[in-house]
């Protein structure tokens, strides 16, 4: 049944509707594919039985003519989303036995629309990382390999498991979370489409929090259309999250393939960074040419505060994280390591339960919020954030509809190759993506080609607040020009 796993989400939807195959066939094919792909370590928990039950229910609804928008579509869910009755760990030792009694709003929306859960995907611990290497469950191995080599590569992070599951055809789509690039960078590394919607587009309720003012859920898919279909189901208002926008969700699929003629696309000059590989520069130029050929107007724009975005991000995000992770204290749930007294228990639990990168960020966050340092770090970073936001607003006010940038400063790198001695080396991966989170804007990463070693490269489109539709339209242009990229199957 492997041809079923090669379908796009939209094709599978049509096939189910026409009863060419059943939802149970579709789920079964994916469950089998997942079992054969354990070498990739993309899933931290497989829910084959649940998938079978959900697919059976989908078939019943299809038979009755009551199919919903995602009826019978098998999906993977990043292990940051709480799923009722299914272990949710954020790939951290501190939560590795935690089974929520509740379902996150985003995943509940997916099941409401008929989707089927295949399992939970691996990610960096608490989504803190750019290579999946901080996961307590060991890193995901990218389905991609350099030409003629078998060095294990990173799928990117933090949503590396979801990106891999989509790229390796283990599911038709997946959810991710993006705090500084955690959807767009792995999408770029794996040749998939990854969308981080506008902050507030998707509810954060039930998603394990990393940095509340930056976290946003979004879809991974193999096509722009599939991502649009998924986002329509994931997004929407939620009374349980006051930062979630009270706006109705447009039919994103209708924007796919819509003409981009006359749209003004900004090319931010500050994104031309020192030491950027020629191949990245080349693909960026390629993207400009494609959009121009499709009738868009290209303008050079300036986002003068770009260079401060990464440092400011690495103050704001750890600050919020240090507070958000305080609840993992061993008192009510999760890991508890014994100690002589309450302080001893806290220290032992958090030392044993959190990995090195999480501990580092908790300490950075605690430091920048401390009395005497708050003004110099946190407050200043928030001011920078306001300026970054204003940079974008100024461009949009001048008639720019969206911006085109590279999604990541390089193609995928080898596991263990970066950040060993200097964590900043790893943080630099987010240089093109963090600005979008800092400004709360929507961003999409679309596959644009392969580099000389045969690895995927992605282009990022950044849109106006709540204008995901324009990004889907522009993304289609790149997709049609660049084509689709599928890794050679070496794992089964």
Q: How far apart are CA 405 and CA 342, in angstroms?
A: 50
Catalytic (active site) residue 78: yes
Nearer to another protein, 209 or 263 (CB): 209
d(CA 485, CA 284): 17
Q: Is 369 in the site for another protein (CB under 8 A)?
A: yes
Is residue 212 close enough to count as binding another protein by CB under 8 A? yes
Minimum CB distance to another protein smaller for 308 or for 346: 346
The residues in 286-325 that bind another protein, with binding defined as CB under 8 A, are 319-320, 322-323, 325
Based on the shown chain and the rule CB under 8 A, indicate whether residue 234 belongs to the binding site for another protein. Answer: no
Task: Rule CB under 8 A: say whether 209 interacts with another protein.
Answer: yes
Closest approach of Cβ 373 to another protein, in Å?
10
- 332 lies in the site for another protein, by CB under 8 A: yes
Site for another protein in 143-202 (CB under 8 A): none
**Residue 361: exposure state from Cβ atoms within 10 A (0-12, 13-18, ≥19):** buried
**CB of residue 19 to another protein, shortest distance in Å:** 38
Q: How many CB atoms lie within 10 A of CB 115?
A: 28
272 binds another protein, rule: CB under 8 A: no
Report whether 83 contacts 115 (CB < 8 A).
no
Q: How far apart are CA 399 and CA 282, in angstroms?
A: 26
Tell me which of 158, 162, 203, 322 is the catalytic residue: 158
* 355 near another protein (CB under 8 A): no
Q: How many CB atoms lie within 10 A of CB 343?
A: 9
Based on the residue annotation, tell me whether 182 is a catalytic residue of this protein.
yes
Residue 241 DSSP code: -
Residue count at the site for another protein (CB under 8 A)? 44
CA 372 to CA 349: how far, in whole Å? 28
Taking CA atoms, 459 is separated from 198, 408, 486, in Å, by: 18, 8, 17
31 in helix, strand or coil?
A: helix
366 near another protein (CB under 8 A): yes
Of residues 453, 463, 430, the one with CA closest to residue 271:
430
Distance in angstroms (rounded) separating the CA atoms of residues 110 and 114: 7
Beta strands in 291-343 (DSSP E): 297-301
Closer residue to another protein in complex, CB, 87/282: 87
Considering the rule CB under 8 A, would residue 91 count as an interface residue with another protein? no
45 near another protein, judged by CB under 8 A: no
Of positions 3, 242, 274, 300, contacts another protein by CB under 8 A: 242
Number of residues that this document lists for the chain: 492
Asked whether position 371 contacts another protein by CB under 8 A, the answer is yes
- Catalytic positions are 78, 158, 182
Binding site residues, another protein, CB under 8 A: 81-82, 88, 90, 95, 98, 100-102, 104, 204-209, 211-213, 239-243, 319-320, 322-323, 325-327, 329, 331-333, 342-343, 346, 366, 369-371, 374, 378
């Amino acid at each position: 049944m492997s041809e079923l796993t090669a379908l796009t989400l939209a094709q599978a939807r049509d096939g189910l509707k026409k009863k060419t195959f059943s939802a149970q066939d579709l789920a079964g094919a994916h469950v089998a594919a997942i079992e054969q792909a354990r070498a990739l370590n993309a899933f931290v928990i497989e829910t084959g039985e649940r998938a079978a039950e959900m697919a059976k229910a989908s078939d019943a609804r299809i038979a009755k003519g009551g199919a919903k928008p995602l009826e019978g579509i098998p999906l993977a869910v990043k292990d940051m989303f709480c799923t009722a009755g299914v272990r949710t760990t954020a790939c951290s030792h501190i939560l590795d036995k935690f089974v929520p009694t509740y379902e996150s709003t985003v995943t509940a929306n997916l099941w409401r629309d008929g989707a089927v859960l295949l399992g939970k995907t691996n990610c960096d611990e608490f989504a803190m990382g750019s290579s999946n290497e901080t996961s307590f469950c060991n890193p995901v191995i990218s389905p991609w390999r350099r030409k003629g080599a078998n060095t294990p590569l990173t799928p990117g992070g933090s949503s590396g498991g979801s990106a891999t599951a989509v790229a390796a055809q283990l599911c038709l789509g997946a959810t991710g979370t993006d705090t500084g690039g955690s959807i767009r960078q792995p999408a770029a590394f794996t040749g998939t489409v990854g969308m981080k919607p506008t902050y507030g587009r998707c509810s954060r309720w039930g998603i394990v929090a990393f940095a509340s003012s930056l976290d946003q859920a979004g879809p991974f898919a193999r096509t722009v259309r599939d991502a649009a279909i998924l986002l329509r189901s994931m997004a929407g208002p939620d009374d349980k999250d006051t930062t979630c926008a009270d706006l109705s969700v447009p039919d994103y699929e209708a924007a796919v393939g819509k003409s981009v003629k006359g749209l003004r696309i900004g090319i931010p000059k500050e994104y031309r960074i020192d030491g950027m590989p020629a191949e990245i520069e080349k693909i960026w130029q390629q993207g400009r040419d494609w959009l121009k050929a499709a009738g868009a107007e290209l303008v050079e724009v300036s986002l003068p505060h770009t260079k401060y975005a990464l440092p400011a991000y690495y103050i704001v995000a750890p600050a919020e994280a240090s507070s958000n992770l305080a609840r993992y204290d061993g008192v009510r749930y999760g890991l508890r390591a014994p100690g002589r007294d309450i302080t001893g228990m806290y220290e032992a639990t958090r030392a044993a339960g959190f990995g090195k990168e999480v501990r580092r960020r908790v300490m950075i966050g605690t430091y920048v919020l401390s009395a005497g340092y708050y003004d110099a770090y946190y407050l200043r970073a928030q001011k920078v954030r306001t300026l970054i936001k204003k940079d974008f607003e100024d461009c949009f006010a001048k008639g720019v509809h969206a911006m085109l940038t590279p999604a990541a400063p390089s193609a995928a790198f080898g596991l263990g190759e970066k950040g060993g001695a200097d964590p900043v080396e790893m943080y630099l991966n987010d240089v093109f993506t963090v600005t979008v989170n800092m400004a709360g804007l929507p961003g999409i990463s679309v596959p644009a080609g392969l580099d000389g070693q045969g690895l995927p490269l992605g282009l990022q489109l950044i849109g106006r607040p709540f204008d995901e539709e324009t990004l889907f339209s522009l993304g289609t242009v790149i997709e049609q020009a660049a084509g689709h990229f599928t890794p050679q199957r070496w794992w089964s």
